[in-house]
Structures are given as C-alpha cells and as structure tokens.
Structure 1
Amino acid sequence: MKRNKIYLAVFTALSLSATACNDNVEHNIQSVDAPAFVSVSPQDNIKAGLDSIIVTYDKNIFFASSQYERITLNGQPVVSANVIGSSNKLLLMANIARGESYELVIPEGVVSGPNKTPAPQVKATLKAQSQQITATLANANATAETKALYQKLVANYGQKIFSGAMAEVAWNTTVSNQVHALTGKYPAINGYDYIHLQSTSPGGWIDYANIAPVKTWHDAGGIVTIGWHWNVPTSNPYASTVPVVLYGGPNKDMPADWSGHIQLTTQATKAILAKASVGSKLVVKITNVKANAQGSIKNSKWAGFVDEKGKNWDYFNISGDSYSMTLDQTTLTEMRANGLIIGGHDYTVTGVTVEAAGTVKYEFYAAKNEFTLNDAVTDGTWANRFMKSDLEKIVPYLLQLQRAGIPVLWRPLHEAAGKWFWWGNGTAENYRKLWHTMFDFFKQRGVNNLIWVWTSEKNDPDWYPGDKYVDIIGTDMYGQDGKPVSAQTAVQRFNELAYRYPTKMIALTECGTVAEISAQWSADAKWSFFMPWYPGGGVVHATDAWWKSAISAPEVITR
C-alpha cells in the first residue's frame, strides 16, 4: 500500500511538469511605456541655413538613421537624423529658410523605446529667424530728408536691392559714369570718401568744400554714401622739433687714410635744413670708434665750419656712439645754402639727423604708426588732441551737405576687428568709445543728416557700438586667390548678421569679386544695397559682364 502512494506522488509531479511546459501558458514579462515626446529645441528663432534641431523624449530611444527621410518639415525630408550613442535625444539637421514657419512631423514608429515599443507621432510648429527693422533712426534729431531716405531703404528691404559704385580717388562719380556708359543706367548709390581730409584746400586738387560732385548726384535722384579712411599723423605733429634723417645708411666707413666722407649737399638735404632753427642739433651716429678717431663737419668747399664761438669743426676727437654740433645762425645759414660734408677717420657712420620742424606723414593703416586707438580715446595724449581736432575739421563739410538737403549713408571706422586700420589697433571697448565720441560730437554740433552704417568683420560682436548708435549693419567681402565670393558664402554671412542684429538692415557695403547679384539674391542674401570697390592697381573688382548682369536684374534698383 505504501508503494502505491509513492507511485501516485510521482505521477502527479510529472503531470504538473508537463503542464508547465505547455505553449499556451502566458509569460509574465514587465511592460515598458513607449517613449513620450518632451520638447523640441530650438523652436523659435532657428538660425537660417543648415541648422540642428534636437527632439527630446522622456527615455532613451532607438532610431534607424536610414529612416530619416520619413521625418519632414513642411512635407520635405530633413537632411539627416541620428541618435548619438545611448540617448533620449534625436538630432535633426535641416535647411531652414529665414522668416519661415515649419510643421515638424515624426511619424509613429519611426522612433522606438528600449523594448522596441513604437513612439507615437510627433507634431510641432517651428519658426525660423526673422527680422523686425527698427522704424526710427539712432539720431532722433535727424533731418526730414534723412528720415525719408531711411524709410525708403526700409520699405524696399527684402524686396529690392539698391545698386552702388565707389568713387575713384574719393570725390567724383567716375565709376558710376562708366557703369552708365556700359549699361545705360546709373547705380542708385555713389560712394565718396574723406580720405584726403589732410590735403583738402580751397581751389586745391581736392576741395571738400566744393560739394558740386555730391550735390549734382543727389539732385539727379542719387543716394550718397561717404566713408572715411581716416588718415592720422604717424608721429606727434605737435612736437616743435623732431630728429629728421639726413643720412640713413648704409653704414659708411671712415678709414685711417682720411678718404671717407658723406656729402649731404642735395636739394632734399637743404629742404630739411630749411626747417631747422638756431639751437637745433646736428647729430652724427657712429660705431667702431678707434682710440685715435676724429670727426669732421665741413662746408661744401671742404673747409671746416667755424661757428660764432670761433670753433673750427674741421677735425676733432670723438668717442661714444655719436657726436653733435649745435647750430648757430652762422653755421645754419651756410648749411641751408650749400649743405655739409661729414668726414674724419677711424670710425663708421651709421646715420645723420638734424632737429627740425616735424615733416608729418599721414597713414590710416596700423602698421608703422605711433597713432593708436587706445591713445586716441585717452585724454591728454597727442593722439586724442588730434582726433578731436579732426572731428572739428570735418563737421563743417558735413553741415554743408546738410544745408544742401543731402542725407548721407555715413560709414566711418569700418572693418575695425580686422585690426589693419589704426581704429582697430586697440581694444573693442575703446573702439566703441571712439564710435560713441564721434556720434555724440556730431550730434552736439547739429550734424543730423547721417544714417550711421557700421561695418562688421567676422565674429566681432564685442566691437558693435550698440543699437542706439547704429542704423545699418554692413559687411565687406572680397574674393581670395582669384576666386569670387560664392553666393552660398554670401548668404551665410547675411544670415549670420541678420541673426545677430535682427532689428537692423544688412548691406554689402563694400565688395571685390563676388557672385552675381542675381545669384546672391536667389540664394536669399537680401542685402539692402551693394557697392563694389573701384578698380585700381591692376585689379578689377567688378567686370563689365558682372555690371551688366547686376544692373539688368529685376530686383536691382538704379538711379
């Protein structure tokens, strides 16, 4: 009986085991919810061009990159889509057009969760970057003519583009006349420049008080833009005397046989000596001086100068790195008339200078220029004194244009962050200070006919003077290595500036060889205006074919 009970137990256990292996039994696997959409970023003010969009879910997701074409913006596939590593973020790349709104659609099942549970469809509205142009000028006191020109530019912005040409030698319409002869139409804008401010004079080869070249253009319906390649003295112009070079090399040996000499009797030497004065020092710089060396300063007849104290300068002992002669009336008069001769023996001459009234040289480039941006905005420096005097000097010319009813697209201090001009040879903070100084200076003196155009370089927001001081943003583009700037590069630059300065019109303020305007416009580079630089030095920035294409384009405004 006991054995039968054991058999029954074994039979029961085997029966239960067979039941456990039956396929009809349900498996208790833990379920996981499908990934839920959390956000899309950015959703507003997306940069134009090829930009990234990140879609975030509440848990890690899986996505087959080959399925990217099923994800659309306004029905068009995105450029790419990827999940990088183990992540809850889907990275989309898409071409975004400025000012557009988009519906993003990610169909159900394109994205899945950890257990391949399909994510629901995602729909989201996205908005690209756009511009809302400021309706008023930075200078609230702007003249009626200036306000009218600004409103004209605003009304056409994004719809049409104004053509422009830069004056040759700064105060004429030569290039615009050539464009007219070539195409039968004048550009809408003619560019001028106060580059020759230090040389202007009544009746001179350039006279900024003669506004006829500007007024004639304006009265014929043209728009005026003026820049300022601001020439400044390369050294202190207020010093009463400075060492002026009479002989600058090469080094001249004065051998022991007395045969060496430097004859300084040219008209150029005499012109410098004419600016010397009684008490000025003539300095001979020397090296390789032997123990018995002697110097000599002779007149044009090879006799030593004799000064008013009776000293004969025929031969005298020398040492150190220089010897000098203080000019009196007698020696100076003779030198001015006939020059001088440096001689002696057993040493080498490295240079000869005389203290004279400074011969001022002007430059706008930063290289080899003692005039710096930082000094220009620092009270008490000679650069600051000169900067303010030049602002005073230019004001009457601007007021003369204002009285004639001529508004000006004013473009000073351009390309500063490039640092090749003196106004970029310093800090961004001091550049902004210089711009503000000019803006306030002109405003205080009643100059109210300017539309202020600031020219940007790449990645230079620190140099921007601020919305309160700028009306239009410009950029200058030149081709490199003989290749023109492409339309795609142009639209990238436009979009960058339009994104950074959404309340300001963007203009191609200066250009070299660039893609045709129609190609730039079609690519969505909707400049307010364009202006090729004038040809020079064998370089033609805009060919005849380029001009013909530009002037005939339906979007281009001419005079």
Structure 2
Amino acid sequence: MKKNLFSTKLFLIISFALLSFSCKDDDEVTGTQRYKEPPVLLSSIPATGGTVSFTDNTIRLIFDREVTVVNLGMVSINNAIISGSSVSGDTLTFTLDGLDEKTPYTLTITKGAIKGVPGLLNQEDITLSFNTGEAPALTKTLAMPNASAQANNVFNFLLENYRNKIISGSMAKVNWNTDEADRVYRWTGKYPAINTFDFVHLYASPTNWIDYSNTTVAENWWNNKGLISIMWHWNVLIEGTSNFGFYYTGKNNGEGETSFDITKAVQDGTDENKIIKADLDKVATHLLALQAKGIPVIWRPLHEAAGGWFWWGAKDANSYKALWILMFETFKAKGINNLIWVWTTETNDNSWYPGDAYVDIIGRDIYNKKDAAAIYKEYLSIRKTYPNKMVTLSECGNVANISQQWSANAKWSWYMPWYDYNATDESEHSHATKVFWTDAFASDKVITRDQMPSLK
C-alpha cells in the first residue's frame, strides 16, 4: 500500500514537472520568445515615398505589437526634434506642427528611441520619407458682392504676391496721419507700401484735431500708389461719464474701460443696439466718401476678439460673430463695395471666425517674439486652419526681423509694426527700430511704395 502511494506521488511529481516544462516552452513560443526581437514596422500612413495632405499634420506608424516611446528627443523630422506623440495599441502617431506644402520630409526614429511592449528597444534607425501636398487654392473672389474695380485690383495684387513677396506697412500715430511712414522714409529713403488708419476717434469727429470727412491724407497716399488700410478701435460711452473707451471692464487697469454689453448690442431695439447702428452709419459715411473717390480699403474691424480685452470680444463667440455679420450686411445694404475684409485670429479661436462668406484675409497680431522659427509655426498653423485665405501679420512689435521671418518661411502677405507715440527719429522705437526697417528694405522680397503699380 505504501509502495503504491509512493509510486502515485512520484508519478504526479514527474507529470507536474513535465507539464510545467511544456507550459514554459509554450509560453516562450507564444509569448516571451516571440518578443526577443525589436518591434517591427509593418506599415505607415503615409507609406514610404507617399504624400500627406498639406492640412494634415499627423504621421501614423503601425508595428507588429504595442510600442512605447522611450525618448522623444531621439525622434526627428528633417533633423528637428518632434514635440509630441501618442500611442494606441500598435499604432504610434506623431503630430508635426511644421509641415509646409510641397516639401520632402524624412522622419527618423533613432536607435533606442522606442520599445516593444513586451520586447526590446529598436536596434536600428527607423526612417520614413514622404512629401507634403500642395495647399488648397486660395479664394480669389472678394466677400463683398459687386466689389469695385479698385478693390479687385488690390485684392488681385495681394494674391499675385502672396508667398512670393511681402508688402511693407505702417500704422498711423493714433490720428488720420502718416507720421510713422514719414519717419521710415527719413530713416531709409523709402515709404512703406501700406498706411493703416484708425477710426478710434469716431466719437469726436469732426473737430479741430480730427475730421474723418477730410480724406486728403488718404487721397494723397493712394495717388502716390500706396495702399489704404483702416482699422477701428470702437469707442463707446463709459457708463456714468462723458468719456469713451473700448477696453472691457477689468482689462486695462481702469483706463478707457467700459461695461458695454455686446450681447445686448446685437439684439434689435435695445439701447446698445441703437448705439452701434448709429456708429455703423457714421463709419459707413466715411467709407462711402473714400469709395466715391475710387479708393479701396483693406478693412480690419473688431480685431483680437477672442483675447477678451475689448468689449466686442468680452462675452461670447456667437455675439461677436453676430456683430461682424451685422456690420457686413449693414455696409452691403448701403452699397459699400470697396472693402477687403480682414479678420484677426488669436489662434485656437476658430469658433470666433465669422465664416468664409464674410472674410477675405486672416490677420495675426504678434508682439515681443524674436524667435523667427516660433513665428513661422504660428503662421503655418493659421494657414492650415484657414487654407483658402491669405494670412498676414496685421500688427507686430518687437519681433524677429522680416528677413529672418521670411527665411524661416513665415511668408505673410504684409507686415505692419505698431506706432510708438513718443518715439523720435533719434530715440529707440519700441516696436520697429531703424535697424528693423533697414533690414526689411534691404530685402528684394519686401515691396515698398515706390515699387507699387497703379491699382486705379
């Protein structure tokens, strides 16, 4: 009996050992042994030698197993380190912010950058070469119906030069003047091609220091082949005072702040609605006066809305868009057809965009950014978001030189430094120094006023 019991125990021990060895062997075949090699790239989107859409900025790599990125600093695109990645199972996705159109690229995953899960690090560099496609065609018809011949001439000129050359621009020093452009001329011997004015003192005009009905300065600029741009810091009455302001309450240390409510302003019949309609009528009169003299206007109202510091952007995107469209439709009903409409993005604010039917050009205002590569990334991001529209540096100050931006491929339609109210020819300009302008005008890619054709 004991002998049989011993035999039975011995049999069970041997059987269990054999079973354990068998299971281990199976596991090596189906599990651990299978992953004694590095992860294998099975396919990619795009395929090697393929093309990725200009508006797409993702590259997907499919491996034979789940992978993880061990060191993102060892992954590059045309020798530039990639900023972000994500993994979903066997698919590794890279988001690439800097892909320009019609450009060859090589993605390189350096040896040891990724690891199979389970498994080893990649033992050799993994490379993927591809090209980007052409950007979608630009819209070549102005948003405003029955656009004037002069407006079409200017728009076509902008289209012809876009990404081939950049047009120089200057900003009026608060009032209806060319003071900044005159300083640039004294510094360089040349005028910027564009002068931008501002209806900021609409509430005071006409008076002895500002009268927008006197269009002489704009006429002279246009007759000298310059382009006219106008923006509008829209002042409204500050509650309980006789003062005007355009900053929203809490956005400018109490100076020039108003609690004027845009949500009420776009509701028919409210007091706020009556105020904005009266102002629109007044602005329309001045725009029609320019139109009667054959002068087109690059029109940039309601700028920097999503930033929230102006009353027109203090509430919500829908109210803002309603105000933009109200302005557009009001001007259309009055027969205004000399405008090229520029909408200013704050980036990542597409919900604030009035829509392609109401916008001709996308602007971006950039300050205090000396890194041309970072500026290029902003430019390219806007191009990808609004691929059918030209993109312009509608305001700037203390930024990388135009030659540096152009070399970095930030090929704006035009650029316009902000004014410095206290600057003199000898003092250092806070936004665009003599060195900045000299550098710009030394480039054969920059268009100055003397190089402009007649667009009448």
The answer, yes or no, to whether TM exceeds 0.5 is yes
Aligned to 1:406: 295
126 and 88 in structure 1: CA distance in 2 versus 1, 3 angstrom threshold? farther
* 8 Å Cα contact 1:78/1:95 also seen in 2: no
Distance between the aligned counterparts of 1:60 and 1:438, measured in 2? 54
Deviations 1:279-333 (CA, angstroms, capped at 9, x unpaired): xxxxxxxxxxxxxxxxxxxxxxxxxxxxxxxxxxxxxxxxxxxxxxxxxxxxxxx
Which amino acid in structure 2 is aligned with residue 371 of structure 1?
F
Q: Which has the larger radius of gyration?
A: 1
Aligned to 2:246: 364
* Greater Cα shift, 549-558 or 109-118: 109-118
- Asked if 1:534 is matched to 2:424, the reply is no
Distance between the aligned counterparts of 1:175 and 1:82, measured in 2? 42
Aligned to 2:441: 551
* 8 Å Cα contact 1:37/1:58 also seen in 2: yes
- Asked if 1:385 is matched to 2:387, the reply is no
Alignment equivalent of 1:59, drawn from 47, 65, 68? 65
Kindly report which structure 2 residues correspond to 1:282-321, keeping only aligned pairs within 5 A, or say none. Answer: none
Aligned to 2:320: 431
Distance between the aligned counterparts of 2:343 and 2:84, measured in 1? 40
Alignment equivalent of 1:100, drawn from 99, 102, 105? 102
| Residue 147 of structure 1: how far off its partner (Å) | 0.7
Q: Secondary structure at the match of 1:405?
A: coil
| Residue 506 of structure 1: how far off its partner (Å) | 0.7
* 8 Å Cα contact 2:317/2:351 also seen in 1: yes
| Residue 143 of structure 1: how far off its partner (Å) | 0.5
Aligned to 1:255: none
* Greater Cα shift, 168-177 or 93-102: 93-102
Aligned to 1:520: 405
Give unmatched runs, 5+ long, in structure 1: 1-27, 236-241, 243-358
Aligned to 1:476: 365
Kindly report which structure 2 residues correspond to 1:224-235, keeping only aligned pairs within 5 A, or say none. Answer: 224-235=228-239
Which amino acid in structure 1 is aligned with residue 381 of structure 2?
E
Kindly report which structure 2 residues correspond to 1:19-38, keeping only aligned pairs within 5 A, or say none. Answer: 35=40, 37-38=42-43
Aligned to 1:213: 217
Alignment equivalent of 2:394, drawn from 509, 528, 547? 509
* Cα-Cα RMSD: 3.6
| Residue 102 of structure 1: how far off its partner (Å) | 3.6
* 8 Å Cα contact 1:79/1:93 also seen in 2: no
Aligned to 2:194: 189
| Residue 37 of structure 1: how far off its partner (Å) | 2.3
Distance between the aligned counterparts of 2:436 and 2:271, measured in 1? 46
* 8 Å Cα contact 1:83/1:89 also seen in 2: no
- Asked if 1:461 is matched to 2:344, the reply is no
* 8 Å Cα contact 2:85/2:95 also seen in 1: no
* Greater Cα shift, 96-105 or 496-505: 96-105
Q: Secondary structure at the match of 1:142?
A: coil
Which amino acid in structure 2 is aligned with residue 520 of structure 1?
Q
| Residue 231 of structure 1: how far off its partner (Å) | 1.0
Aligned to 1:127: 132
* 8 Å Cα contact 1:232/1:363 also seen in 2: yes
* 8 Å Cα contact 1:81/1:91 also seen in 2: no
Task: Report the TM-score when normalising by structure 2.
Answer: 0.77
Which amino acid in structure 2 is aligned with residue 88 of structure 1?
D
Give unmatched runs, 5+ long, in structure 2: 1-27, 250-256, 424-428, 450-456
| Residue 227 of structure 1: how far off its partner (Å) | 0.5
383 and 543 in structure 1: CA distance in 2 versus 1, 3 angstrom threshold? same
Deviations 1:444-489 (CA, angstroms, capped at 9, x unpaired): 100000000011113211111111100011011111xxxx432122
Alignment equivalent of 1:173, drawn from 173, 178, 187? 178
Alignment equivalent of 1:495, drawn from 368, 380, 383? 380
Aligned to 1:251: none
Distance between the aligned counterparts of 1:454 and 1:403, measured in 2? 25
